[in-house]
Structure 1
Amino acid sequence: MTASTTRLPRLITATVATFGVATLMTGSAVAADRPATWTGTWSTAVTGAATPPMPQTVFENQTLRQIVHTSIAGRSLRVRLSNEYGTEPLVIGEARIARSAGGSQLLPGTDRRLTFGGRSSFSVPPGAPALSDPVTLPVPALSDLVVSIHLPQRTAADHRWPDFLARRLQAQAPLRHLGALNKGIGGNRLLHDGNTVAGTPFSGIGPLFGDSALSRFDRDVLAQPGARAVIVLLGINDIGQPTSLAPPSETVTAEEIINGHRQLIARAHERGLRIIGATLTPFQDTTIAGYYSAENEAKRAAVNRWIRTGGEYDGVIDFDRAVRDPAQPLRLLPRHDSGDHLHPNDAGMQAMADAIPLRLLQLTGDRVVAQ
């Protein structure tokens, strides 16, 4: 796919392995009476990761270097990265761009550090793109650029909290008969299907967030053979997305979220499943613009208060307490923060799994389903 419009294009780029580049056209490329505008010089379409039996490519503390061949010239550039098909945050330790001196060799004097919102180390949320700050670097037409991305954390590592829970279960002889099925979806909401506002950097990725939990609960959870318990962690995206990337018309109240949880409880009990509620984790100062506000925090607090004290769930797991900063309880503890102040990192996921009282799972049956 090529992008040649004279506006900031909606570049479609591949996660980690490929990157989109936009240049700021100047000089003879733009008429003197016309302001310089962003336009695409290189792009590629994205695909999802390989699925079994094909092996997944895993990177840990490695730098990936890719050669990008430009189509037009410019004096400044921006790079768009995508985690569009990702299911967990993509942590970038550092990103750089330079002109090529041949192959992957850098042309002296052209190496530039890329920053995203002023930060060189950052996290790309699941299902989302990230657009770099502008970098001054004269780029000839039909030339090669070298994009280098350092990935400090292991990718495709099965480091979500249900994965760590499964390991805890296997370490306890009385619980080894319990399997852990992860039915969570990155960006998923309790009350609304995945949806995003047109004309924004998130436009078009809504379907990746899946159907609402209320609509998929029967097929994804209740239909699982041998299921005896379900752990529910839902609601934070219902709170934050309508003020950031979803239509404002989908804004919901804390009471509506609580009533959605009550629906899950009633449907689980009707099928004889034990259902356990998990508190929503902190998200103050998340890097996702518009996601956090004092009003949204008040909704999270109200939902958590009900989960903890309402007595309607068969048990409670306090994920909020497990990963929050005791000195700033509205924020993730730094060692648990992936970098976007919303998604826990591997250590945070481990802390969440460790916070699950295994006595809640001492039951007969075959599977615990995480929603």
Structure 2
Amino acid sequence: MLAAVTAVLAALAVSTAVAHGDARPQLRGGKGPVWTGAWGTAMQRSVAGSEDRGPNWSRQGFADQSVRQVVRVANGGSALRIRLSNSYGTTPLRITAATVGRSAGDAQVWPGTVRKVTFGGRRGATIAPGRDLVSDAEGLRTSPLEKLTVTLYFAGRTGPATFHRFTTATSYRAPGRRLSDPAGDPFKESTNAWYFLSGVEVSGAASPRRGTVVAFGDSLIDGTGATPGADHRFTDKLAERLAADRRPLDVVNAGIGGNRLLNDSPCYGDKATGRFRRDVLDRPGVRTVIIHLGANDIGAPKMADPCMGTAPHVTARQIIDAHKQLIRAAHARGVKAVGATILPMKGALFPVYSEQGEKVRAAVNHWIRAGGAYDAVLDVDRALADPADPTLPRPGYVFRDGLHPNEAGFHAIASAVDLDAL
């Protein structure tokens, strides 16, 4: 009886891994390639466009359309594969066909670099609601910090799209099947969002120390304040530092603007404690996670933002306990956890600051620095703070909203990272 139960459980484990496109890396020295996440984003449920976030196509989805998305990989390799998500779909998602190629700027692809992407040896695939799918390996050699295009064709209706709402990159749409067009002319529509595409993974690096660093958090991680299309987010700057120092580490950005630790949001994603496994731990080759969260939990009661949904006042203890939960989950998978202190909030030009909230922020930051729960600390607060008044951001480091970093601010945060701690 015990043997029979064991066999059933083993079969279930295999079937689940296949359905999800098993995210665990192959053991070094074992069979198969070792994969790491060279690019990635966190998925959200469909939501209408807005004045501040811009239009998007998530509510209507796609039908007889090609979607071309541009991403920049942190490190290169001899082969790659893509990860697609139907996490928030309510019906099966049919991918008719897909290609990958080298970006030639905007929606253009370098001629001769387009490769067909297959799934279990087939051009198309169907992803069940709530699931992910990983493609077969494709032998397109990539270089550090190179930009790629991923083009997906949907012959039938997709329904509302699982997507990432805010990006500093541009995605393009064209009618019909435009998988291999090197010119960008057919792709006349564009938005700043990513659709269904949640990761690009590479293999073939020589270093046995290769792994992935995931930055997990809110709008500071997501890149609010960075110049669109310029690769100026904190994670972009960190990837450049690692590449220049020839460190064998990839970087994945799992930030969601408006995200909170303790409460879900209709527009700003599932609470961080609920999405941590999918967006961080289930990616291949993860060695370290950098966590910046708590600012939106503190500021939500002042915002009066219907997109926040529930917006209760929170205590420092509640935020710290949620951080501890993330740390325990990371350590259980053998992943190092780096705590990022919460950025200065007093200078924001929209209602987010309060004296009580500032006390909570100070208490959480003190715990991150001195509590000993994190394996290392990235002191975002001190990297951005005005020396004359540490509750305010340094004037030259802040975006026009008075809260988020600008290019100089993101550079300061990336420069504050101890690369050896990763």
Shorter-chain TM-score range: 0.5 to 0.7
Match of 2:287 in 1: 228
> Does the Cα contact within 8 Å between 2:263 and 2:310 map onto a contact in 1?
no
- CA-to-aligned-CA distance 1:198-257 (integer Å, 9 cap, x gap): xxxxxxxx42x1111100100110101111111111110111012212456522111100
Answering whether residue 169 of structure 2 is matched by residue 86 of structure 1, we say: no
Structural mapping, 1:231-270, within 5 Å: 231-244=290-303, 245=305, 246=308, 249-270=311-332
The match for 2:69 is 51
Equivalence for 1:187: 258
The residue that corresponds to 2:3 in the other structure is: none
Shift of 1:14: 5.9
Q: What is the match of residue 87 of structure 2?
A: none
Which residue, out of 197, 200, 211, partners 2:270?
A: 211
1:316 aligns to 2:377 (yes or no): yes
- 1:160 matched to 2:233? The reply is yes
Matches within 5 A, 1:74-113: 85-87=165-167
Name the counterpart of 1:367: none
Counterpart check, 1:279 vs 2:321: no
The equivalences for 1:33-72 within 5 A come to 46-47=56-57, 51-52=69-70, 56=106
In the alignment, the residues of structure 1 paired with residue 379 and residue 320 of structure 2 have an alpha-carbon distance, to the nearest angstrom, of 16
Q: Which runs of 5+ in 1 are unaligned?
A: 1-10, 18-44, 58-83, 89-124, 127-151, 195-205, 362-371
**Secondary structure at the counterpart of residue 182 of structure 1:** strand
Q: Contact conserved, 1:47 with 1:85, CA < 8 A, in 2? A: no
Letter of the 1:191 partner, please give it.
L
Gap runs ≥5 in structure 2 = 1-47, 59-66, 71-99, 108-163, 169-217, 220-224
Deviations 1:253-304 (A, max 9, x none): 1110000000001000111111110101101031122x11101111100100
The SS at the match of 1:280 is coil
1:193 Cα offset (Å): 1.1
Change (3 A) 1:248 1:181: closer
**1:153–1:293: structure 2 CA closer, same or farther, 3 Å change rule?**
closer
Deviations 1:84-131 (A, max 9, x none): 95346xxxxxxxxxxxxxxxxxxxxxxxxxxxxxxxxxxxx97xxxxx
Residue 415 (structure 2) aligns with:
354
Partner secondary structure for residue 183 of structure 1 = strand
Aligned to 1:178: 249
Partner amino acid, structure 1, of 2:239 = A
3-state secondary structure, aligned to 1:282: coil
Contact 2:227 2:407 in 1 (8 A): no
User: Could you say which residue in structure 2 is the equivalent of 1:298?
Assistant: 359
For 2:361, the aligned partner's letter is: R
CA distance in 1, matches of 2:330, 2:69: 30
Report the 3-state secondary structure (helix = DSSP H, G, I; strand = E; otherwise coil) of the residue aligned with 1:189: coil
Cα distance in 2 for partners of 1:303, 1:15 equals: 29
Q: 1:56 to 1:270 in 2, by over 3 A?
A: same
Aligned counterpart, 2:174: none
Inter-CA distance 15–310: structure 2 relative to 1 (3 Å threshold): closer
Corresponding letter in the other structure for 1:347: A
Give 1:184's aligned amino acid: G
In 1: Cα distance, 2:165 partner to 2:281 partner:
26
Maintained 8 Å contact 1:15/1:46: no
Amino acid at match of 1:192: N
C-alpha separation between the residues in 2 aligned to 1:302 and 1:235?
11
Q: What letter matches 1:186 in structure 2?
A: G
- Percent sequence identity is 44
Kindly provide the amino acid, as one letter, of the partner of residue 383 in structure 2: A
AA matched with 2:331: H
Contact 1:254 1:302 in 2 (8 A): yes
Letter in 1 for 2:229: A
Give the deviation of 1:157 after TM superposition.
2.0
TM-score (norm 1): 0.55
The answer to whether the 8 Å contact 1:14/1:47 transfers is no
- Residues 262 and 315 (structure 1), Cα distance of their counterparts in 2 relative to 1, 3 Å cut: same
- For the structure 1 residues 15 and 256, does the alpha-carbon distance in structure 2 shift closer, same or farther, using more than 3 Å as the test? closer
2:395 & 2:227 partners in 1: Cα distance?
18
In structure 2, the CA distance between the partners of 1:210 and 1:50, relative to structure 1 (3 Å rule), is: farther
**Partner Cα separation in structure 1 for residue 106 and residue 261 of structure 2:** 30
The residue number in structure 1 matching 2:133 is none
Distance 1:154 1:269, change over 3 A: closer
Residue by residue over 1:22-55, the C-alpha shift from the partner in whole angstroms, topping out at 9 and shown as x without a partner, is xxxxxxxxxxxxxxxxxxxxxxx65479623796
SS at match of 2:69: coil
Q: In 2 relative to 1, CA 248–224 (structure 1 residues): closer, same or farther, beyond 3 Å?
A: closer
Aligned equivalent of 1:331: 392
- DSSP-derived class of the 1:341 partner: coil
CA distance 1:340–1:317, change in 2 (3 Å):
same
Aligned-partner Cα distance in 1 for 2:238–2:269: 24
Cα RMSD for the two superposed structures: 2.9
